[in-house]
Chain A
């Protein structure tokens, strides 16, 4: 329970702190300007730092996971997406992975029914994950109306599509509903499914609650306790153009929203959320399966002690002669190899 409760309380506290800070004019500069700037800087620097941290380590071996037929003989139909033989295939594989969660789409569930092991299609996680990520993307793109001046062409278009059902005024967006549903689903499976509950850490609940908090404060601002949207844009834009100022009437609820968003930005590079950048580097997915056609080079391929043929022949000479296996008279005895061996008799 503590694994869920503490992250929840932390998120609530963060929102309350933001709300309180936004209520006190003296602290508005801190919560409206200083913290968001720090958060943004932390995100950009942290993201780059983590990515470069991974890039510092080499990929010594080409360990592609093949999920389809290799390219071998010309008359055997190869699967260039699931076992890519060239870079184009890798590009396609990665695109499917990143844009459509290809691997997750394969998901099945296994269970014993009597003495039979049965497999079922299990697409809910895939659907929930996809729904969450795409909803979040659309929401971020919609929010560019606060950061971009003039508002670019695609925003009204997105709003029209997203608000297609024209429920309420201002219109409720489809993605508002879908991201909340998706988040609740992702949370629920951590609670309801025993296996997933067992593996879940506070670090799994925290981002769910955090993003739920961001969504909830957003919904509240738009549909229930309305804030002055001009003031919000004025603040956002002032941050963007590096001439920060706090307009009057922003409303404390917005500061709660902003505090949670800032928290997410800071938390992002410190956490598993870095899977966003990491997926591009996954060696089982982003490498070709042409190992035998194109040599992969390991930058730290150091020499190792080996047991040479010469040593082997020496050891088994009598037995080789006895068995009539031809001896090699023309051996290149390399003393330095023997010296490098060490460690055994």
Chain B
């Protein structure tokens, strides 16, 4: 945390009802004053590697963004193309009545009070240009019809606000017409990308992922080293030595997970949980050093880039000759896998309909895509009695669960993780209803915004989530925030440190791994992160 950054009580001084007198149609972003609220632009070499337009050095605070000379034409054409391709886009441009139900649903608006962070406004930034170009009223009446020309200032405003939306879709739950701001932001970013306006925190992972197979740019030998290192760690903790097959042809299942799981903390402990679980049930699986990333920052770039990065998963499943694919804990990864992969890179007719080799359960909900979520898989194991959990090993935790946006609002994955958590620990507490399940609040750093240069925006955007955690922290002594998203795991810890010190962050399968009773294991003295377990006396004292 920056020493001289704003204190929590300063960030909490947010006025939601004091709005500027100035008409919103006047673009108004002072990048110098807004330092800490936006991300830095993509390095040219990332765009060059990916074959994307207008690679160059530039800074948002510069007056000249070095746009191509015909940038307006490019955007107009791009907009037309997308209106013809996406009914969602066309419809959402047309039918909003500006009822304002979405206004205070956005974590960025709640945290910043910036009126253009109201979802309706975020869309109006685009709509105003759409009206000017595509509606008679907008062409004739201009500003009076809420229409405006696409100027450089408007484009700068787009950049600022479309990279201050985490595509979490919370507003779309409340919109009476189901208008989805994620869809708007995705279109906005696609258009910006056409003229080379993008952020490095998205483009570098994309370029890495395209080259090495994962966002972090981990090359195959390091991939293997990390996994072996993890296996050693697991052996130290449990006394059980596990094998993790890599690029093994003919395995039954390909396991794909976000690269942070084997590279970042606290993701790593969840990864240990997976390894322990797969070993315990004797799963015939393999990981891939090529399809070494489940996440897909292409989603935060363009539909095309999403498809380009996603293609490797089916390709690798085909090459390795597996029967089906199992996916680890991740948020946007699962949005892509659940809602896009089969359409983009399917049909996966070379795979088999997924059946759990241990329970014989046929995963009816994944018969076409042939990819199963780890929490569905493990919940089935537990239900069928194939694994044994000792929840007392998590007695040092008082646990709550953060529904990660995408599994919540793009899959409806609510009960599987809760079933696992309730079976893995003895102290589970839900956060207030308005902040969980389909109403869950984003971590504030999704969609490629989880970097340092926009820390203030992240802390503000994460405030609603943190506030709910603080509530259960104070009321129930909650000290562990669980979630199922790699970005959450990376960005919730600093958020907690800032707003609710004393709360740690973990994945669901970390708790499963802690509780998992393994054949041939020694007595566990620590959990997967090395924290000593409570002694029997301490447990009794706690009760």
Residues of A within 8 A of B (CB): 6, 50, 53-79, 82-83, 85, 97, 101, 103-104, 106-112, 115-117, 119, 125, 129, 189, 193-204, 270-272, 274-275, 278-279, 281-285, 289-298, 300-301, 304-309, 312-313, 315-316, 319-320, 322-326, 328, 342-345
- Given A6-B144, A282-B179, A300-B85: A67 touches B339 (CB 8 Å cut-off): no
Asked whether B380 lies within 8 Å of A73 as measured between CB atoms, the reply is: yes
Asked whether B19 is an interface residue with its Cβ less than 8 Å from the other chain, the reply is yes
For chain B, what secondary structure do more than half of its interface residues adopt (helix, strand, loop), or is it mixed? Answer: helix
Contact check, B409 vs A66: say whether CB atoms are below 8 A apart.
yes
Q: A193 contacts which of B100, B120, B145, B169 (Cβ < 8 Å)?
A: B100
8 tightest Cβ-Cβ pairs between the two chains A and B:
A343-B51, A70-B412, A66-B412, A83-B412, A278-B95, A323-B221, A284-B178, A292-B369
- List the interface of chain B (C-beta within 8 A of A): 8-9, 12, 14, 16-20, 24, 48-52, 83-91, 94-101, 103-105, 110, 115, 118, 120-121, 124, 135-137, 144-146, 169, 172-180, 183, 210-213, 219-221, 224-225, 246-249, 289-290, 303-304, 307-308, 311-312, 315-316, 319, 337-340, 342-344, 346-347, 361, 363-371, 376, 379-380, 383, 408-416, 419, 432, 434-435, 438-439, 463-464, 467-468, 471
> Are A195 and B115 in contact (CB-based, < 8 A)?
yes
Give chain A nearest CB distance to B446 CB in angstroms: 16
A343 x B434 contact (CB < 8 A): no
Given contacts A65-B180, A107-B101, A195-B104, 20 further A-B pairs with CB under 8 A are A6-B144, A54-B90, A60-B86, A61-B303, A68-B414, A70-B365, A72-B364, A73-B383, A195-B115, A198-B115, A199-B118, A202-B144, A270-B137, A279-B95, A285-B178, A293-B367, A294-B368, A295-B347, A309-B290, A326-B247
- Is A195 a contact of B17 with CB atoms below 8 Å? yes
**B368 and A293 contacting across the interface, CB-CB below 8 Å:** yes
The one of A59, A272, A326 that contacts B95, using a Cβ cutoff of 8 Å: A272
Give Cα A118 to B175, complex, Å.
Answer: 20
**Chain A to chain B contacts (Cβ below 8 Å), 18 pairs:** A67-B412, A67-B438, A68-B414, A82-B412, A110-B434, A129-B99, A195-B100, A195-B104, A201-B98, A201-B146, A272-B94, A282-B95, A285-B178, A292-B367, A295-B346, A296-B343, A323-B224, A323-B225
Q: Which residue of A lies closest to B307 (CB)?
A: A304
A198 to B434, CA, bound (A): 26
In Å, the complex CA distance between A75 and B379 comes to: 10
Is A103 a contact partner of B178 (Cβ separation < 8 A)?
yes
In the complex, how many angstroms separate the beta carbon of A288 from the nearest chain B beta carbon? Answer: 11
Give the residues in chain B near A319, CB-CB below 8 Å. 219-221
- Contact at B17–A194, with CB atoms within 8 Å? yes
Q: CB < 8 Å: which of B52, B87, B289, B364 contacts A283?
A: B87
Residue numbers in A under 8 Å from B86 (CB-CB): 57-60
Residue of A61, A279, A324 with most chain B CB atoms under a 10 A cut-off = A61
With A and B bound together, what is the CA distance between A304 and B137 in angstroms? 38
Q: Which residues of B contact A328 (CB under 8 A)?
A: 247, 249, 319
What's the Cα separation between A297 and B368 when bound, in Å? 12
A58 to chain B, nearest CB (A): 6
- Contact indicator A110/B210 (Cβ below 8 Å): no
A73 x B438 contact (CB < 8 A): no
Contact A309 B97 (CB under 8 A): no
Q: How far is the CA of A253 from the CA of B98 in the complex (A)?
A: 32
In the complex formed, the residue of A with least CB distance to B53 is A343
Nearest Cβ distance between residue A289 and chain B, in whole angstroms?
6
Quick one: given A200-B98, A282-B177, A293-B366, are A110 and B412 in contact (CB under 8 Å)? Answer: no
Query: By the criterion CB–CB under 8 Å, are A63 and B180 in contact?
Result: yes
A338 to chain B minimum Cβ distance, whole angstroms, is 13
Contact of A196 with B409 at beta-carbon distance under 8 Å, contacts A68-B438, A284-B178, A316-B219 already known = no
**If the complex has contacts A65-B409, A73-B361, A109-B104, are A115 and B9 also in contact, measured as CB distance less than 8 A?**
yes
**Is A307 in contact with B211, judged by CB distance below 8 angstroms?**
yes
Q: Which residue on B lies nearest to A311, using beta carbons?
A: B211
Complex CA–CA separation, A69 to B311 (angstroms): 28
The answer to whether B176 and A103 touch across the interface, beta carbons within 8 angstroms, is: yes
- Asked if A292 and B410 make an inter-chain contact with CB atoms under 8 angstroms apart, the answer reads no
Least CB distance from A308 to B in Å reads: 7
Residue in B closest to A196 when the chains form the complex, CB atoms: B100
B60 vs chain A, min Cβ distance (A): 25
Q: Decide: A196 and B103 in contact? CB cutoff 8 A.
A: yes
Give the residues in chain A near B315, CB-CB below 8 Å: 306, 308-309
Q: Which of B18, B19, B118, B340 contacts A61 (CB 8 A)?
A: B340
Asked whether, in the complex, the Cβ of B312 is within 8 Å of the Cβ of A306, the reply is: yes
> When the two chains form the complex, which single residue of A72, A199, A282 contacts B91, counting CB atoms closer than 8 Å?
A282
A239 to B172 Cα, complex, angstroms = 43
The answer to whether A111 and B367 touch (CB under 8 A), given A76-B415, A101-B176, A106-B174, is no
Question: Do residues B289 and A343 form an inter-chain contact, with CB atoms below 8 A?
Answer: no
Q: A residues within 8 A CB of B49?
A: 344-345
Query: Main secondary structure on chain A at its contact with chain B?
Result: loop
Complex: A321 Cα to B146 Cα, angstroms:
61
The answer to whether A282 and B178 touch across the interface, beta carbons within 8 angstroms, is yes
Give min CB distance, A113 to chain B, whole Å. Answer: 10
CB distance from B305 to the nearest CB of A (A): 8
Please, how many angstroms separate the alpha-carbon atoms of A201 and B419 in the complex? 47
User: Hey, which chain B residues are within 8 Å of A58, CB to CB?
Assistant: 85-87
| Chain A residues with CB under 8 A of B308 | 304-307
A53–B9 Cα distance when bound, in Å, is 50
Residues of chain A contacted by B416 (CB below 8 angstroms): 72-73, 76
With A110-B104, A125-B101, A295-B342 in contact, do A278 and B177 touch (Cβ < 8 Å)?
yes
Are B87 and A344 in contact, with the CB atoms below 8 A?
Answer: no
Q: Closest chain B residue to A62 by CB distance?
A: B339
Please state if A67 and B409 are interface contacts (CB–CB under 8 Å).
yes
Chain B residues whose C-beta falls within 8 Å of the C-beta of A292 in the assembled complex:
337-338, 342, 365-371
A103→B174 contact, CB < 8 A? yes
- CB-CB under 8 A from A195, the residues of chain B are 16-17, 19, 100, 103-104, 115, 118
> Contacts A129-B99, A279-B95, A316-B220 known; A66 to B312 CB distance under 8 Å?
no
Quick one: given A125-B101, A195-B19, A293-B364, are A278 and B91 in contact (CB under 8 Å)?
Answer: yes
Q: Do residues B85 and A116 form an inter-chain contact, with CB atoms below 8 A?
A: no
Instruction: Please pick, from A59, A111, A294, the residue contacting B87 in the complex, using a CB distance under 8 A.
Output: A59
Q: Are A278 and B94 in contact (CB under 8 A)?
A: yes
Give min CB distance, B187 to chain A, whole Å: 12
CB distance from B86 to the nearest CB of A (A): 6
Would A199 and B103 count as touching, CB distance under 8 A? yes
Contact B366 A320 (CB under 8 A): no
The answer for the CA separation of A238 and B8 in the assembled complex, in Å, is 71
A270 to B118, CA, bound (A): 25
Tell me, in angstroms, the Cα distance from A59 to B340 when the chains sit together. Answer: 12
Which of chain B's residues has its CB closest to A303's CB? B307
A73 to B355, CA, bound (A): 12
Pick from A77, A110, A278: contact of B105, CB under 8 Å: A110
Beyond A54-B91, A66-B438, A67-B173, whether A293 also contacts B97 by CB under 8 A is: no
Which of B97, B248, B376, B415 is in CB contact (< 8 Å) with A275?
A: B97
Give bound CA distance, A323 to B124, whole Å: 53
Asked if B110 and A117 sit within 8 Å, CB to CB, the answer is: yes
Task: Given A199-B121, A292-B342, A328-B319, verify A60-B85 contact (CB < 8 Å).
Answer: yes
When the two chains form their complex, are residues A305 and B413 in contact, meaning their CB atoms are under 8 A apart?
Answer: no
Given A202-B144, A284-B172, the answer on whether A194 and B364 have CB atoms closer than 8 Å is no
Of B48, B137, B415, B416, which is in contact with the most chain A CB atoms at under 10 Å from its CB?
B415
Choose one: B14, B120, B220, B346; the contact of A325 (CB below 8 Å).
B220
Contacts of B135 in A (CB 8 A): 270
Q: Which of B83, B342, B468 is the one whose CB lies under 8 Å from A117?
A: B468
Q: Who on chain A is nearest to B304 by CB?
A: A304
Measured between beta carbons, the chain A residues less than 8 angstroms from B412 are 66-70, 78-79, 82-83, 289
Q: Which of A75, A112, A115, A315 has the most CB of B within 10 A?
A: A112
Give the complex CA separation of A65 and B177 in angstroms: 11
Which chain A residue has the least Cβ–Cβ distance from B320?
Answer: A328
A contact residues around B101 at 8 Å (CB): 103-104, 107, 125
Q: In the bound complex, what is the Cα–Cα distance between A343 and B340 (angstroms)?
A: 24
